[in-house]
Amino acid sequence: MLTGGPDKKLRADHYLENLSAEQLEELRWVLSAPGTLQEQRLLCPKRQGGPRDGELPVLSLLSEISQAMRQAAAFNEVRFQQATEAAASQRCKELGLDPTLTNAVLRVIGEEALAQKAEKKLGSFALGAASILLNAESTRTKGKQEEEKLTLKKQAEKRMQEKLQFERDKVRVAEAKLKATQEQVAKLRDVKAPMTDADRRAIVDKIDEIMGLPKGQY
Amino acid sequence: MIDQDIKKFVLRTLLLKGGQPMSAREIKLRIRGAFDAAFTDGELDTVIQAMEDANYLAGTNSDLDGTLWALTAKGTIQGQQLIKK
């Protein structure tokens, strides 16, 4: 970052260029420690070689290095968070959760983590945010269940109506049969009704039977 | 100068997120985490707005988590160039 990219190099007389690995690590530790830049400057490794050999680095340079370190740490944090979110997202996908909602939950939790880090506190880790979104999912699921219930209720009502119609048809047929039978019975009971050939034939047959004559002799 | 540094930082961060958008709150938190200066919300909103005006960022509205900012094609190219530099 300070050099402007991996292919470019620091000037030969740059403060960092002449520090050993141990001194670079010491510088990193000093700049990561709490305190003002002026306080940190006093603990920094001194310049090695060149016209300013043995001098402490200037504040503007330390500020630039500190800034670059913070940005590098911020980029590493993004990379780490991305890897964590991808793993969590994959796991949620395997569990069959809605990806849109999962991403939203992960985003809110990530933001909450950043905010807590900025405030240097560790609270109930974004559980509030997660529970809000999970409640949204639960409400949506409940809505779906209610819809299904309503559909089932409508289907049951329809079946009930069909059953009722079938019963009514059955009653109607039975009533029609009863009416026909009643009409027939009423007709048979009517003594004044004119005698039919079948009646006459039945009387003759009955007399033949009483008289002991063979059927159809007369 | 610092404005340019912030814009570069936002482009690189969004590029590292691999196409995932960020809310304004997350962008601001990340900027505050990476820079020493104490920025106000208004200053950072101005930076985001300027990046949208320059067509580096595009905002989309989500029912679940409000406005989200993602890189445009121009922003992606710019971010990739920054990483190569």
Nearest to A101 by CA among A88, A83, A120: A88
The DSSP result for B31-69, as a single string, is: HHHH-SS---HHHHHHHHHHHHHTTSEEEEEETTTEEEE
Let me know if A71 is exposed, middle or buried by CB neighbors in 10 A (0-12, 13-18, 19+). Answer: buried
Phi, then psi, of A174 in degrees rounded to 5: -60, -40
A112 in Cβ contact with A126 (< 8 Å):
yes
Q: Inspect the interface and report whether the beta carbons of B18 and A78 lie closer than 8 Å.
A: no
Q: Could you give the CA distance from residue B11 to residue B85 in angstroms, rounded to a whole number?
A: 14
Inspect the interface and report whether the beta carbons of A66 and B84 lie closer than 8 Å: no
**Pure H helices in chain A:** 21-32, 37-43, 59-94, 99-118, 127-189, 197-211
Instruction: Give me the residues of A, 27-86, that contact B with CB < 8 A.
Output: 63, 66-67, 70-71, 73-75, 77-79, 82, 85
Q: Does the pLDDT at position A9 exceed 70?
A: no
Q: Residue B42 is encoded by which pair of tokens?
A: 């208004």
- Cα separation, A77 vs A119, in Å, equals 16
Q: What is the pairing mode between strands B57-62 and B22-23? A: unpaired
Average pLDDT taken over every residue of chain A: 83
Q: Do the interacting molecules here have an ipTM over 0.90?
A: no
Task: Dump pLDDT digits (tens) for A40-77.
Answer: 888 888 887 777 778 888 888 888 888 888 888 899 98
CA–CA distances in Å: residue A2 to residues A65, A88, A141, B53: 7, 34, 52, 29
CB-based contacts of A68, cutoff 8 Å, min separation 6 = A1, A2
Q: Is the pLDDT of residue A155 over 90?
A: yes
Q: pLDDT digit string (tens) for B64-73? A: 667 899 999 9
Model confidence pLDDT, tens digit, residues B12-50 = 999 998 888 999 989 999 999 888 888 899 999 999 999
**Which sequence spans correspond to the domains of chain A?**
16-134
DSSP structural state of residue A17? G
Does the CB of B35 have a partner CB in chain A at under 8 Å? Answer: yes
Domains and CATH numbers, chain B: 2-84 (1.10.10.10)
Angstroms from A108 CA to nearest CA on chain B: 8
The yes-or-no verdict on residue A1 having pLDDT over 70 is no
Q: What is the pLDDT of residue A127?
A: 63
A residues 105-144 closer than 8 Å to B (CB): 107-108, 110-111, 114-115, 117-118, 133, 136
pLDDT at B80 over 90: no
Contacts of A6 (CB under 8 A, 6+ apart): none
- The token pair that represents A71 in the structure block: 């940005």
Percent of chain A at pLDDT exceeding 70: 87
3-state helix, strand, coil in chain B (%, to 5): 60, 15, 25
List, for residues B49-64, the tens digit of each pLDDT value. Answer: 999 999 999 998 876 6
Task: Assess A2–B contact: CB distance below 8 Å, yes or no.
Answer: no
Alpha-carbon distance of B80 to B85, in angstroms, equals 9
Please count the residue pairs, one from chain A and one from chain B, whose beta carbons lie less than 8 angstroms apart. Answer: 62
Question: What pTM did the predictor assign?
Answer: 0.62
Give residue B67's pLDDT: 85
Residue type, A46: K
Q: What is the mean pLDDT of the segment spanning A13-17?
A: 76
User: Which of residues A125 and A206 earns the better pLDDT score?
Assistant: A206
Is B17 in Cβ contact with A78 (below 8 Å)? yes
Q: Which residues of A touch B23 (CB under 8 A)?
A: 107, 111
Cβ atoms of A75 and A53 within 8 Å: the answer is: no
Q: Which two tokens stand for residue A203?
A: 């009387």
pLDDT at A79 over 70: yes
